[in-house]
Amino acid sequence: MKMLSDQLLYQLALTYIPGIGPVQAKLLLQHCEAEEIFHAKRSFLEKIEGIGPTRAKAIAAFTDFKRAEEEIRFIEKYAICPLFISDKDYPKRLLNCYDSPILLFYKGNSDLNAEKTIALIGSRSHTEYARQVVDKLVAELASHHITIISGLAYGVDALAHKAALRNGLPTVGVLAHGLNQVYPPEHTGLAKEMIRQGGLLTEFGSRSKPDKHNFPVRNRIVAGMSDAVIVVETGIKGGSMITAEIANNYNKDVFALPGKITDAKSAGCNFLVKQNKAILLTDGEQLLETMGWLVKQKKKSRIIQQRLFAELKPEEQTITRILENKEAVHIDEINARSGMSTSSVAAAILSLELQNVVVSLPGKQYCLA
């Protein structure tokens, strides 16, 4: 336990160094463990690409370990789970995002690496149309074990979390402040329910307040943790549009619910669709089909399938065994489980696609045809 606290001390301290954000921290971690960074020579740190003399000096001058010790006491007192970027429970989808945080704080019981996740986002001042759409959409997804992610804000965020709870789906709220509070405070009861059926996640320590500039920073986690981002209702400007833009930059699938062209609160959704930055979404079944999450009826018998697979090359058979009995598998999981090089996996998948054995799905996922 002491060793874990020592590790966490340096992991926390790494996030406090002036001029060292998530991108620079990951550059450092490619060369050293967190503790080693604080004991490394300045001359060594300066030579790391993206660090240089100014940041190396800031690392060498850092002494505020007391702040990290206070945070550890807070974490232990409230049974919060810290998730460092190298931990097995760290959200794997965030590893594909260049600016993902190196340290997260989690309170809850939901798997942050659930097989299917979507973000439902939208205006803080929602209409009755948005409420109806969220209720309908979540109810249609209820039997597919999808984790619902949002930001615990007023409006569409709260609608999404409440609909998930009603339908028995896990729901995770990504916060723009520390876990010592709930913002807005009116959502304290909702947050408690979510901890029992999902969780609360943040990259901000207990000293952090819900400052305005924290919300766009928070939005990248909402986008990065999701397989798909669904914009329910939004004006032409605002946090939801920022999240949609981030999701597009992360190569995530973005959907938008259409609205009346005269309705300012749907102007953002209509704009995203018009600019081909989002897929027009009308119901849950369309989402499931587009994401490749519908269970497909296999027309070929097991015997025919086995005979077909027997004719494949060893590398191709490895891929088909990974995909067997799965609705969809992400390319990162295929790479990890196959034990093959990335180029060999890519070649095998291409060959399987040409043979109509494997189908490519949105979000860099694959399934058997």
**Does residue 58 sit in the same domain as residue 190?**
no
187, 261: one domain = yes
Query: At which of 256, 291, 326 does a domain end?
Result: 291
Q: What is the pLDDT of residues 30-69, one digit of tens each?
A: 999 999 999 999 999 999 988 999 999 999 999 989 999 9
Looking at the structure, tell me whether residues 192 and 159 fall in a common domain: yes
For the stretch 316-338, pLDDT in tens is 889 988 988 788 899 988 988 88
Residue 32 lies in a domain: yes
49 occurs within a structural domain = yes
**Per-residue pLDDT for 13 more than 60?**
yes
Confidence of residue 351 (pLDDT cuts 50, 70, 90): confident
Residues 345 and 237 in one domain: no
Domain that holds residue 334: 302-368
The CATH number assigned to the domain holding 54 equals 1.10.150
pLDDT in tens, 340-349: 888 899 889 9
Give the C-alpha distances (Å, rounded to integers) separating 344 from 296, 308, 322, 328, 368. Answer: 27, 21, 15, 20, 18
- The answer on 204 and 115 residing in a single domain is yes
Is there a single domain that holds both residue 45 and residue 147?
A: no
Shared domain for 309 and 338, answered yes or no, is yes
Give me the helices (H) in 17-120, please: 22-29, 34-39, 42-46, 52-61, 65-77
Residues 277 and 188 in one domain: yes
Q: What percent of the chain has pLDDT over 70?
A: 95
Number of domains, the chain: 3
Separation CA 205–CA 202 (nearest Å): 8
* pLDDT tens, residue by residue, 267-289: 999 999 999 999 999 999 999 99
What does the pLDDT look like over 64-114, one tens digit per residue? 899 999 999 999 999 999 999 999 999 999 998 999 999 999 999 999 999
Q: Which of 291, 311, 346 is the last residue of a domain?
A: 291
Examine the domain organization and report whether 56 and 126 are in the same domain. Answer: no
How would residue 306 be classed by pLDDT, with cut points 50, 70 and 90?
Answer: very low
Question: Residue 241 domain-assigned?
Answer: yes
How far is 246 from 222, CA to CA, in rounded Å? 10
Residue 283 lies in a domain: yes
- Domain limit, last residue, from 246, 266, 291: 291
Alpha-helical (H) ranges within 122-179 are 128-141, 156-166
Residue 91 lies in a domain: no
- Does 122 map to a domain? yes
The answer to whether residues 345 and 271 belong to one domain is: no
- One domain, residues 264 and 192: yes
pLDDT tens digits for range 113-156: 999 999 999 999 888 999 999 999 999 999 999 999 999 999 99
The domain spanning residue 254 has which CATH number? 3.40.50.450
Within-domain flag for 89: no
Same domain, 172 and 226: yes
